[in-house]
Structure formats: structure tokens, C-alpha cells
Structure 1
Amino acid sequence: MTSEALDLSRLRPVLPSPLEPVEDERFARHGVRLVLKRDDLIHPDLPGNKWRKLAPNLRAAGGRAVLTFGGAYSNHLRATAAAGRLLGFRTIGIVRGEELAHRPLNPSLAACAADGMTLRFVDRSTYRAKGDPAVLAGLLSAYGECRVVPEGGSNALAAQGCTELGRELRGVADVAAVACGTGGTLAGLAAGLAPSQRALGVPVLRGGFLGEAVRELQTAAFGAPAGDWSLDERFHFGGYARTTPELHAFADDFERRHGLPVERLYVAKLLYALTELAGEGAFPPGTTVAAVVTGGPQEASEASR
């Protein structure tokens, strides 16, 4: 298959993604307006930043097999597997945790397998070293020629793909906020915004490495750090895929108020953080905040509670 044959437009993505104003007194009482950027509606199998990050990488793969990485509940693995099924190319997922090979597949990994993805489970030390050329060569040796896409899909191509998200938000909001896993969406979002706008990242991971990751991605994608952006790392709820009863209660309340099902990992953490920041006066009165909805409610898992 050639890159010309890999026509992603036949998947009919909804672009630009819709904007949805939200009337919420938790923002209104502080003079802040909230709008939702419904990237979750771009495509049912490749929602949100998964589409924006994967699309340029899939075009570069040109129909070759794609090998990529993720944890047991990785939405990136699911989207890659779905793209392989829809567009007719082979997918291989390197999954963190060799012990999972001897257990029944969870719903996320079962969906990957049903979409034809070959799953290989590796121990955590190997997974951490996946960027080492020798380790990567060992992983690739069993699968022949592949296009390697990093964990979360975040590389220079992905950051370039996410600039369109920023461009779609020009003139819409003063602050564009997104939940961050690996930093690729924030890197591109900030680069695509107008100079008068600011991008805000809310990490879902414990630790302070994301700022450097975003700078490295922007340098690889654009030659230098780009745009006005910042990270607020106070609202990660203990690390990747961790949630709490408090967070689930917040998501349920948001759904009751606004009729929008909220994905519990990324989107709920983002909206919770924005509500807290509005209450702290972090946004001057008159500020419009656009929250990027990067995934749908089907991404949440009982196992992540």
C-alpha cells in the first residue's frame, strides 16, 4: 500500500471539531466562560488527539505495519488497532507488563485484539528501555519492516498534527486547556494558537518531566519551543490511570448538569482542575477557557478506579 492509497479522508473525520458553550455557575460566578472543544466527536474509533496525532504518523507509514507501545488500558493502542482495521494495515502493540500475557484480556486489550493487533507483553524494565536502539531492534526483529510510533503517539509529526487544534481555537478562547499524558497534544496546541492566547496543560501523570518533554517535542517539530504554554501538575490524582471516588462524583455531577458523558481519566481530571482554578481566581474575569475533550466515555474503565 502506498501513502497515496492510505487515504484517511475516507474515514470522514468531523473537522473542525464542534464547539459547545457550557453554562456552569462554578465558572460564571468568577466571570469565566467555559466552552468545550469536542474533539471526541472527530471519529468514533479515533477520537480527539488520537486522530490528530496518529493521522500524520499513518500517512508517513504509507500502509506499512505500525508498531507502537502502551499500557494495559492504552487508548492510543486501541486507536492504532482500529486504524489498522479500517485502513487495512498490520498493527503490533508492545504492552507494558509481561504478567498480563497469562491473564484474560481486559476490555481495552480485547478490543485491540479484535481489531487484529498483535499484542506482545514485555517486562517493565524492557518497556522503560524501549527507546534504546538495541532493545528496539530486538522488539522489531520478530515483525519485519515496521513504522515505529512512540507511546501515546507523541513525536514531532504528532505535535505538527496537533497545531491544527490550536488554529481551530484562534479567536475562540483566551486559554485553551488540555489534559496531558505524554505532552504531544500540548506541544502542538500551543504552537497553533495565536500569540495572544495561552495553552494550559493538566498532567495526568505523577512527576515533573512533562515540561521538558513538551520542549523537546516542540524543538523536534518546529525547531524551537513555540507558543505561550504552562503546566499545572496539582490535579493528577496520584498518577496515570488513577482516579478517586471524588473524581467520579465530579464527573457524574458534570453529566447531570450538562448532559455530557465525561471520560473519567483525562477529561474529568481536566474539567476538575479548571473548576478548581476558576475558584482560586486563576482566570481573570472576562476570560474564556476552552477545554479540549480528547476522548469519549467508553475510554473509562472500572479497573482504573
Structure 2
Amino acid sequence: MPASFKINETTITQTIDDPWLKSKGIELLVKRDDLLHPLINGNKWRKLKYNLLQMQSQNKTELLTFGGAFSNHIHACAAAGKIFGLKTYGIIRGPNLDLSNPTIQFAQQCGMQLHVVNRIEYKLRNDSQYLAELQEKFPDAYILAEGGTNTYAVPGCAELAQSLPEHDYLICPTGSGGTLAGLIEGSNTATQIIGIAVLKQAQYLTDEVRELSCKAQSQTNWQLLCDFHGGGYGKFTPELWAFCQNIDIKYNLPLEPIYSGKMMYAIWNLIEQDYFPPGSKIIAIHTGGLQGLEGLKYRKLI
């Protein structure tokens, strides 16, 4: 990988030391990918890594992508643009652009050019004709899907799985399916891999994961749990937020209630229900996204 697209990928694996877990015979570790980089962290870097190389191989010098106004992906792509000297464009789901929103402010400070579109146009973000028109308008841009999930997102997440100590269960929050697909690709068949869906009616994501991962098509060592969405994408209950705060105080593990918080809450519930047999070693992936807390504070949701 060229030096220009490199960051230090060494992060800690934190053990959650708790008498209750010991009483259940469970060893729980958290891969702290939120500490990967101050600005491009978690699964956002893992997904971007090979997309940046693909961009380079296509002789593209700019990066264009899509996201909501509080998107972790927009935040990470804007940061990547600043760090690696790339011109970046963000197609933002509207109807308006709130310039006081901390994620939008950060993206602009990084030099990202923001184009707000209405929800009808935003729905076309995966439409081939719409993408062809965008490519014509931005000929030097590498167009990256919302959330950074595509074929090139998978190998970076597979490398993450390969870097972990031995474990029986590997668990991640799931929004678009790219991280889960990569973890399946990078794991051996003895590992049980679980995605915790963070949006409502997410069963369709199992097909997305199969499309991204050949292993997911033939292996049965993975599943997507769809009952821990906390009300839907970007939504959460007061109980979930209280849980996130408690975990931070008790174990010095910061969580946000949109992705990793939902995953940890799910793990806690599953352990309570004796879902995991005694003697199980679980690794949970903290996929970052802590920048989102500023947006939740801004909207007075926390």
C-alpha cells in the first residue's frame, strides 16, 4: 500500500472484567477499533482502505460519496480527503443543509464540497443511470456508495478478523452489511459470527451480505439478529442510552447508541438469556462512530 494511504492499524483488545460474566462462564473482549485513528476510525477506515487503492488504480483524484447529515461515513471521507490531500464531495440527504450541525461543520472544515439533494433524488444513490450522470458531472471522482459498503470494503474488514486473538464468537453492529461480510470472509468456519442489525426490518441485509461475501453464500456459521434495533436506524430508547453511559463509567468503554451501543446491549441480553454456552470467548467489534455523539447532543437527544 502506498505510504500516502496508510495509517497505523494496531488497536487494543479490551477485556471486560466483570463478576457477572465470570459467573456465566463468558470471556468478553472488545476490539477497540474506535481507537484506530483520531478522525478515520473503526469500520470506516477498514472499508475505505481498499477503496482508496481502487480509486488510485482508476487514476481518479477525487472522492464522491453519499450520506445523511450526521453520517459517520461522510465524517470519515472528509477527514480522509484532508489527510491524504484528496478533493471530496458529499451528496447529503436533505431537504436542507444545517450549517450548525457539527458533522457538516467538520466536513466543510476538511474542505469537502457538500451538495444537498431532496429525499427523492437521494433515493437514486444506487441507480446506475443516476450514477452515470454524476460520473459525467464529476469525471475525476471515484464514486463510493453510502456507508462505504461495496466489494472493496470487504478485504479491509477481513483483515480485521484475521488480526484477532482466538475466539468462539465474533459480533459486530450491522448497518449496510459490509463489515459483517468482511468478518465472515476473514474468519474460519469454527467461529460463529453474529451481526446485530441497527435498523428496522433488516432481514434483507442477509442477501446483501451474501452478495458481498462468497463464504456467506455457502457457510452457516453466521447470522443477523434483527430484534435489537432500538426503534430503528438512528433511534434508541432511554434504557439503551442509560446502558451506554453505564458501560462507559464501569469499564471505561465509550459507546454511542446508534451502532456499537446497540451491539453491546444485544450481547448483554444474549448473555442474560444464556445464549452463549459457558466457556465461550466472545469478541465484539467497536466500529467507532463516537463523533455521532456530538450530533445527538446538538439535537438534544442525549
User: Is 1:255 matched with 2:251?
Assistant: no
Post-superposition Cα deviations, 1:194-238, rounded to whole Å, max 9, x if no partner, equal 22111110011111211111111114xx79556721111111011
Q: Does the aligned pair in 2 maintain the 1:170–1:193 contact within 8 Å?
A: no
Task: Tell me, in whole angstroms, the C-alpha distance in 2 between the residues paired with 1:109 and 1:150.
Answer: 18
User: Is 1:275 matched with 2:268?
Assistant: yes
TM-score w.r.t. length of structure 1: 0.90
- Dislocated runs of 4+, deviation >6 Å: none
Any gaps of 5 or more consecutive residues in structure 1?
none
> Matched residues, percent identical?
37
Task: Tell me, in whole angstroms, the C-alpha distance in 2 between the residues paired with 1:180 and 1:26.
Answer: 27
Which residue does 2:62 correspond to in 1?
A: 65
Which of the residues 233, 236, 244 maps onto 2:229? 236
**Displacement of 1:170 after TM fit?**
5.0
Q: Does the aligned pair in 1 maintain the 2:16–2:28 contact within 8 Å?
A: yes
- Give runs of aligned pairs for residues 111-126 of structure 1, distance below 5 A: 111-126=106-121
**Displacement of 1:180 after TM fit?**
0.7
Matched residue type, 1:186: L
Q: Does the aligned pair in 2 maintain the 1:24–1:34 contact within 8 Å?
A: no
In 2 relative to 1, CA 136–196 (structure 1 residues): closer, same or farther, beyond 3 Å?
Answer: same
Which residue does 1:90 correspond to in 2?
A: 87
Any gaps of 5 or more consecutive residues in structure 2?
none
Q: Secondary structure at the match of 2:41?
A: coil
Which residue does 1:147 correspond to in 2?
A: 142
Aligned residue-pair number:
294
Which residue does 1:175 correspond to in 2?
A: 169
Matched residue type, 1:100: N
Which residue does 2:77 correspond to in 1?
A: 80
Which residue does 1:214 correspond to in 2?
A: 209
Which residue does 1:24 correspond to in 2?
A: 18
Q: Secondary structure at the match of 1:272?
A: helix
Which of the residues 96, 104, 107 maps onto 1:100? 96
Which of the residues 168, 173, 181 maps onto 1:187? 181
User: Is 1:286 matched with 2:282?
Assistant: no
In 2 relative to 1, CA 144–290 (structure 1 residues): closer, same or farther, beyond 3 Å?
Answer: same
Task: Tell me, in whole angstroms, the C-alpha distance in 2 between the residues paired with 1:28 and 1:234.
Answer: 26
Post-superposition Cα deviations, 1:151-192, rounded to whole Å, max 9, x if no partner, equal 110011101211011111252x11010001100000001111
Post-superposition Cα deviations, 1:35-69, rounded to whole Å, max 9, x if no partner, equal 01011111111111111100100111116111111
Q: Does the aligned pair in 1 maintain the 2:81–2:110 contact within 8 Å?
A: yes
Task: Tell me, in whole angstroms, the C-alpha distance in 2 between the residues paired with 1:199 and 1:168.
Answer: 15
Post-superposition Cα deviations, 1:62-112, rounded to whole Å, max 9, x if no partner, equal 161111111111101110010000010111111112x223x3341111111
Task: Tell me, in whole angstroms, the C-alpha distance in 1 between the residues paired with 2:235 and 2:142.
Answer: 31
Q: Secondary structure at the match of 1:100?
A: coil
Cα RMSD, aligned residues only: 1.9
Task: Tell me, in whole angstroms, the C-alpha distance in 2 between the residues paired with 1:223 and 1:284.
Answer: 24
Q: Does the aligned pair in 2 maintain the 1:73–1:109 contact within 8 Å?
A: yes
Task: Tell me, in whole angstroms, the C-alpha distance in 1 between the residues paired with 2:246 and 2:39.
Answer: 26
**Displacement of 1:193 after TM fit?**
1.1
TM-score w.r.t. length of structure 2: 0.91
Task: Tell me, in whole angstroms, the C-alpha distance in 2 between the residues paired with 1:161 and 1:25.
Answer: 35
**Displacement of 1:264 after TM fit?**
2.5
